[in-house]
Amino acid sequence: MLQQRIGLIGAGQMATALAGGWVRAGLIRPEGILASDVSAEARSRFTQATQAAATSNNLQVVEQAEVLVLAVKPQHIRGVLEELGGRVRPWQVVISVVAGLPMAKLQEALGEKSRVVRVMPNTPCLVGCGVSAYCLGPAATEADGELVARLFGAVGKTYQVQEAWMDAVTGLSGSGPAYVFVMLEALADAGVRLGLPREVALGLAAHTLLGAAQMVLATGEHPAVLKDRVASPGGTTIMGLYALERGGLRAALMEAVEAAARRSGELAQLF
């Protein structure tokens, strides 16, 4: 169990997913977490979901925490960084999960000696099945990287990457759950259209996506190889695959990732 006190600036969906995941994983007790948010409603939801305390005072979090997690929306981070400037101490680790926020901007606002780490998690962290990519700032130590890997590894899989890849990570895994939810909804709707009860169709669709993903990870085989094993000559699956090709599913998904990655790069101009 972690001995450091964790502070979250922002108590929205991502902060709640992370803190809730850490508590459920037994990595930290609720009393070892403190969040801040200007929204009373967000604070209430955070505390209800995590049993951890929340305050409206960002500086209270900075004073009490050894590890700071910046989890506010991109349009609000500038004001937060101005408030935190000169307040972050050299022994504190600052983890940013703010989409599009470059490491250089963090260093500029908090000081070149600040130990900053940039992370892009995704919302399945809430159920312990997230995936996060992280990169270390110039002043961050190897121990800081191990701490981040432990924190985010408690709620899913982690990858250390170059910062130049973070926009692509954002477009793929950061935004990716939304794409999968759309696919899952469409599959379930198709089942309902064909006469299946809604709960049966949704369960079949969800477990199909889950099982297919687990097969890729468990076998290590290319998805195309696994796909070909399902598609018998003249069978049902190949006809369904043909319909997907005609509908442009591959191109649409690739364009979705590229559009989200491009937007992540554009967000850097806000800071």
pTM for the structure as a whole? 0.91
Q: What is the DSSP string of 147-212?
A: HHHHHHHTTEEEEE--GGGHHHHIIIIITHHHHHHHHHHHHHHHHHHTT--HHHHHHHHHHHHHHH
- 6-169 carries CATH number 3.40.50.11720: no
* CATH for 176-267 (1.10.760.10, 3.30.70.120, 1.10.3730.10, 3.30.1490.20): 1.10.3730.10
Assign 112 a pLDDT band (cuts: 50, 70, 90): confident
Pairing of strands 33-36, 53-55: parallel
| Paired residues of 131 in beta bridges | 157
Beta strands at 67-70 and 6-9: parallel, antiparallel or unpaired: parallel
Q: How confident is the model over 87-116, as a mean pLDDT?
A: 92
Question: Which tens digits make up the pLDDT trace of 73-92?
Answer: 888 898 999 999 889 998 99
Fill in the amino acid letter for 33: I
3-state helix, strand, coil in the chain (%, to 5): 60, 15, 25
Residue 271: is its pLDDT beyond 80?
Answer: no
- Percent of the chain whose pLDDT exceeds 90: 86
Domain with CATH 3.40.50.720 in the chain: 6-169
Angle among Cα 128, 131, 134 to the nearest 5 degrees reads 125
**Confidence bin at 248 (pLDDT 50/70/90):** very high
For the segment 41-70, the average pLDDT, to the nearest whole number, is 96
pLDDT exceeds cutoff 90 at 269: no
Residue 25 pLDDT class (50, 70, 90 cuts): confident
User: Which residues of the chain form CATH 1.10.3730.10?
Assistant: 176-267
- Per-residue pLDDT reduced to its tens digit, 1-12: 888 899 999 999
